Amino acid sequence: MAKGQITIYIILGLVVLIFGGALIYKLMSPDLIVERTDTSSPCLKKLAIDGLTKLSMQGSLDPEAYIASKSLKIAYFYYKDRSLIPSIDIIEQEVSFYITDHLDECNIQGDAHLVFEKEHANIILRMPDSRNQTAKVNVDFLSVFTVVQNIVSQVEKTPEWVDFETVHGTPFDVMILKVDKTTMIYEITDAELGLEGRPFKYRFAVKLI
């Protein structure tokens, strides 16, 4: 084989090697990496709204003590000298469990996690295939629950009488329903932001003795 032919083969080999290396680099470059992105789920949002609606009617989805009313269990947040008000973390967990338990309505599987933030709740569903679905619900639960905490705190201090200054000094409408001499149901209504534009009525019960 002539020396010139060998040189040509060497040059061709180098060209193939260079272009092949460039192609491999391009395929492995970050620009071509397809990342998994979260997708918004209307069905997940519906389940969250359902869970928050039931929460608003009961105060808690898994109350320690409650007034039984038809299919509802209105939670006692104060019961005979003892505060039973749950933490925000517990309530987030309760609604998360509710959503997860009803995922068959959306024909999906996974674990739902709800977190309250200012004027909305974020929901993320972690699915078995590592994909995520998300939803966002407009509700100012944190502000409503702050009012609840203030009322329960005042009841603890003066259980013998209702502090109407605390009740009426809130940005929301507060109604007190007297069940009997020692039992009352509080209903706090956020009619402005509400729950997705509808009035959000949050209830809980108090038993003094």
Lowest-pLDDT choice from 12-26, 83-97, 110-124, 142-156: 12-26
pLDDT at 48: 98
pLDDT at 31: 47
CA–chain centroid gap for 153, Å, is: 25
Per DSSP, helices labelled H in 140-191 are 141-157, 164-168
pLDDT at 32: 41
Single-letter amino acid code for the residue at 153: S
Lowest-pLDDT choice from 18-22, 164-168, 170-174: 18-22
Per domain, the residue ranges of the chain are 3-32, 39-207
User: For residue 154, is pLDDT > 50?
Assistant: yes
Residue 158 CA to residue 132 CA, distance in Å, equals 47
Judge if pTM exceeds 0.75: yes
Helical axes 88-101 vs 42-58, angle rounded to 10°: 130
Confidence of residue 95 (pLDDT cuts 50, 70, 90): very high
What strands lie across the sheet with 39-40, from one edge to the other?
Answer: 39-40, 132-137, 120-126, 111-117
Q: Which residue has the higher pLDDT, 162 or 144?
A: 144
Rounded to 5 degrees, what are φ and ψ at 166? -65, -40
CA–chain centroid gap for 11, Å, is: 63
Digit-coded pLDDT (tens) for 123-136: 999 999 888 999 99
pLDDT at 129: 87
- H or E element: which one contains 3? helix 3-28
pLDDT at 16: 54
Using DSSP, state whether 77 is helix, strand or coil. strand
